[in-house]
Amino acid sequence: MSTVTPSRPEAMSATPRASARVARLVTDCLEPKTWIFAVLFLVGIKSDGLVGVAWAIHAAVFAGVVPMVVIKSGVRKGNWSDRHLSARAQRLRVIPLILASLCIGITVMSAGNAPQELLAAVATMVATLVVIMAITTAWKISVHTSVAGGAATMTALVLGPWWWASSMLVLLVGWSRIALHDHTRAQVAAGALLGPTMALLVFAAMT
């Protein structure tokens, strides 16, 4: 009994499709809010146990949940093209809203004497987002790799050098953004450099 094998062009075309599916999965699963939730929880529990976790949840609401609600609401209404805000102009409309949310969150944290490490983490997010917004006025730097790189750096600074291994995930995120044609190599590299730089300048200085 003979078997039918796909022609060479069909086999070749299947590979890019499979690669694109993997890239989409990576981009969606390791999007900024995933990194934000993870780093806030890890920093919170390391800094002050259950009290730190409670403050981490508070910070996550303003740093991750509120922005997620704003973006999803905008997508449903047709204001944004997708949840990753692929269009640069759309990012310039959303970033100020996220900044406002972060500023409210960190103001409450400061007034409530939240752990210094968590204050530093949120302050780093604010500073990074300000720089991202400035760059985005002219160029579409990768927010995915910036947030991932910054989160990986803060985690390693708090939990120890073994956590630098999480930087490998930053490379994976960068690959996914390029594979999906959402960013160029330069935009991905710039984001991967910006995040750790801001973490070293702000987070390390505050802790």
Residue 11 pLDDT > 70:
no
Tens digits of residue pLDDT in 69-125 = 999 999 999 998 899 998 999 999 999 999 999 999 999 999 999 999 999 999 999
Residue 163 burial class via C-beta count within 10 angstroms: exposed 0-12, middle 13-18, buried 19 and up? middle
Alpha carbon distance 53, 56 (integer Å):
5
19 located within any domain: no
SS3 113: coil
9 located within any domain: no
Name the residue range of residue 181's domain. 30-206
Alpha carbon distance 141, 135 (integer Å):
7
165 located within any domain: yes
**pLDDT for the residue numbered 151:** 98
77 located within any domain: yes
Tens digits of residue pLDDT in 129-184 = 999 999 999 999 999 999 999 999 999 999 999 999 999 999 999 999 999 999 99
Alpha carbon distance 199, 191 (integer Å):
12
**pLDDT for the residue numbered 13:** 53
2 located within any domain: no
11 located within any domain: no
**pLDDT for the residue numbered 1:** 47
**pLDDT for the residue numbered 17:** 85
Residue 131 in tokens = 């720089």
Residue 14 pLDDT class (50, 70, 90 cuts): low
Phi, psi of 114 (to 5 degrees): -65, 155
Phi, psi of 41 (to 5 degrees): -65, -45
Q: Residue 90: what residue type?
A: Q
Number of domains in the chain: 1
Instruction: Give the Cβ contact number of residue 49 at 10 Å.
Output: 11
Alpha helices (H) along the chain? 8-29, 32-60, 66-77, 88-111, 116-136, 143-159, 167-179, 185-198, 204-206
Residue 8 pLDDT > 80:
no
177 located within any domain: yes
**pLDDT for the residue numbered 16:** 77
